[in-house]
Amino acid sequence: MPRIFHILTWFYVVLLTLLLWLPDPRTYFRTELSDEGPAGYAHIITFALLAFLIEIDRERKSRFFWTTLLIGYVFLTEIVQEMLPTFRCFDIADIIQDLAGLMLGLYFADIAKPMVRRFLNRSSAIS
């Protein structure tokens, strides 16, 4: 994968970690979102994107390694949230949504990876 894609992937990992460990990230975006509607799917969407980016970017390590690491990340973020002196807490529903997002992201990455590789090979042959 191109270096820029690798940088984008790790930028997203850092951004997601910060958002998960902030007291209430909605205050930084000046929004009043409830847990219903699109905001209720935030964990699924963010973790699907995380898994998608990691899987597309993955080249050397096995899928089992990265999947295990992502599952560990899910539990680590919930454990850290329990230790934060804020309204955040350990929540099984969040873990289930995060894991569902990981599965969706890996599924869509399986579909997209051949197309992305074909596109990158074609664009590198042109230049």
pLDDT digits (tens, 9 = 90+) for 22-77: 776 666 666 555 555 555 688 899 999 999 999 988 877 788 999 999 999 999 98
**What residue spans of the chain are helical by DSSP H?**
3-21, 42-57, 63-83, 92-126
pLDDT band at 119 (very low <50, low <70, confident <90, very high): confident
In terms of Cα–Cα distance, which of 104, 54, 40, 97 is closest to 74?
97
Which pairs count as long-range contacts for 107-114, CB under 8 Å and 24+ apart, including other chains? 108/48, 108/52, 109/51, 109/52, 109/55, 109/56, 110/55, 112/52, 112/56, 113/55, 113/56
Residue type, position 88, single letter: R
CA atoms within 13 A on the CB side of 103: 6
In terms of Cα–Cα distance, which of 101, 106, 36 is closest to 67?
106
Output the CA–CA distances (angstroms, integers) from residue 17 to 7, 22, 44, in the order listed.
15, 9, 15
- In total, the chain counts a number of residues equal to 127
Task: Give me the mean pLDDT over the 99-108 stretch.
Answer: 96
pTM: 0.81
d(CA 61, CA 51): 14
